Structure 1
Amino acid sequence: MLSLKARRTLLAVLLPIGIAIIALFIFRSYFYFPSTVYGESMAPTLEDQNKILISRVGNIDRFDEVVFHAPDQDASYVKRVIGVPGDKIEYKNDVLYVNGKKHAEPYLKEMKNAMQEDALFTNNFKLRDVIGEDTIPDGYLFVMGDNRRNSKDSRMFGLIPQSTVIGEVKFRYYPFPQMGLTN
């Protein structure tokens, strides 16, 4: 049997540890959680085996990097949101047009520069060619990987329901030289 003093000491040590474990569980369950990137579809923004933190809170906007339940297998994908509800999407001569307005994609610069001058990094398409509609309906997103030539994304499997989004990629914590905020 432990003495009263020993029990108090044990309680003083175990109580903060227990509170920390509960706080970590709540934080991970409702706010942020770690994940690992598998594959090269988001290269060079996110590379295979990068360790990332995903936020479960906040709104998803165009150009955010999101993790979602894959529509074609029992896995999760990480891709960039290109179109949100109401958007009309078109790619022409390696330029993204959203609702008729040209949008720069600086995150593609490194990969585009590595290509032959006359080659397209992103093949031409209109949203209608991919999903059979001109605009993205409510409740859906159009996503693409940054490594456009090696990405299974909305061009192949169509729109993703917003309800399948697990969260937004906020931070890369491994490898250490690349540690920092994403986007």
Structure 2
Amino acid sequence: MASESQNVPPNAQSANTEASVKKQSGSWWSRLSKGQRDNVQILGIALVLAIVIRLFVAEPRYIPSDSMLPTLQIGDRLVVEKIAYRFRSPQHGEIVVFDPPLQLQQFGYAPDKAFIKRVIGTPGDIVQVTQGNVLINGQSLTEAYLAEPPAYEMPSVRVPADQFFVMGDNRNNSNDSHVWGFLPRQNIIGRAIFCFFPFDRLGFLQVPATESTPPLQEGQTG
């Protein structure tokens, strides 16, 4: 008696084999259940949103040094928002995160090594450090947030357009504008607004109230 396979025409066997291969090699998407496809779509949307938020809205940052003591502690995790400076300039007292300017890169810092400091001088301001005080346009700043007064002197300098003078709150242990100069606005990533870890330090970062001190015009002295 002939076997059943012998009764199947060769072309039919070939067609069955091709159909079986196609079925087995179908797209991974088609092999997923509806629930699995929904989960993949949700994960994809979440990933895209996370990337967009990090690039354009906000991102987390870690504090690795003591240059901002006592305001920021080593190990603090912060939220850095990126929206405000699209519509306005950084203001006195705000804490900014920035990519190192060319001066710092020449000192050997990587272009993507972010720094964090406080804005002290804005464009047009005249900044001076003398006798333990920081003067802006001839007026001494009241800085209750300092670890200690600066133990160095710095002659007066005028902040150029589109640049800023930034300093660490730990004045005597901070690699800041008194060392390497002005910070270009284009290097600013965003402003630090919230500490989310450790939990005992949870809260918004306060910007100290400062009196409005108009920049001096060329030729004026403080």
Q: How high is the TM-score relative to the length of structure 1?
A: 0.80
Letter in 2 for 1:85: P
Residue 107 of structure 1 aligns to a residue in which SS? coil
Please name the residue that 1:115 is paired with: none
Q: How many residues align?
A: 166
1:125 aligns with 2:125: no
Q: Which residue does the alignment assign to 2:215? A: none
**Match of residue 99 from structure 2:** 69
8 Å contact kept, 1:42–1:145:
yes
Aligned-partner Cα distance in 2 for 1:19–1:76: 28
Residue 131 of structure 2 corresponds to residue 103 of structure 1: no
2:62 is aligned to 36
| Separation of aligned partners in 1, 2:190 and 2:156 | 24
Instruction: State the SS of the aligned residue for 1:127.
Output: strand
- The equivalent of 2:47 in structure 1 is 21
Question: Cα offset for 1:122?
Answer: 4.6
Unaligned runs of 5+ in 1: 113-119, 129-134
1:93 and 1:125 map into 2 onto residues whose CA distance is: 10
Given that residues 168 and 174 in structure 2 are in contact (C-alpha distance below 8 angstroms), is that contact kept between their aligned partners in structure 1?
Answer: yes
* Offset, 1:7: 3.2
Structure 2 residue runs without a partner (length 5+): 1-22, 24-29, 207-222
- How much does 1:168 deviate? 0.7
Q: How does 1:83-98 map to 2 (within 5 A)?
A: 83-98=121-136
Partner of 2:83: 57
Report the counterpart of residue 139 of structure 1 in structure 2.
162
Question: What is the percentage of aligned positions where both structures have the same residue?
Answer: 28
TM-score, structure 2 as length reference: 0.67
- Say whether 1:175 aligns with 2:198: yes
| AA aligned opposite 2:188 | V
Following superposition, the deviation at residue 148 of structure 1 comes to 0.4
Cα RMSD (Å) of the superposition?
2.2
1:77 deviation in Å?
A: 1.0
Larger radius of gyration: 2
Q: Which residue of 1 aligns with 2:34?
A: 8
- Asked whether the equivalents of residues 97 and 103 of structure 1 are also in contact (C-alpha less than 8 Å), the reply is yes
Higher strand share: 1
Contact 2:96 2:116 in 1 (8 A): yes
User: 1:91·1:122 contact (CA, 8 Å) conserved in 2?
Assistant: no
Q: Once structures 1 and 2 are overlaid, which stretch shifts more, 53-62 or 90-99?
A: 90-99
Aligned partner letter, 1:56: K
Q: 1:36-92, CA deviations, whole angstroms, 9 ceiling, x for partnerless residues?
A: 111110011111121111111113111111111123211221110100101011234
The 2-side partners of 1:44 and 1:35 are apart by 17
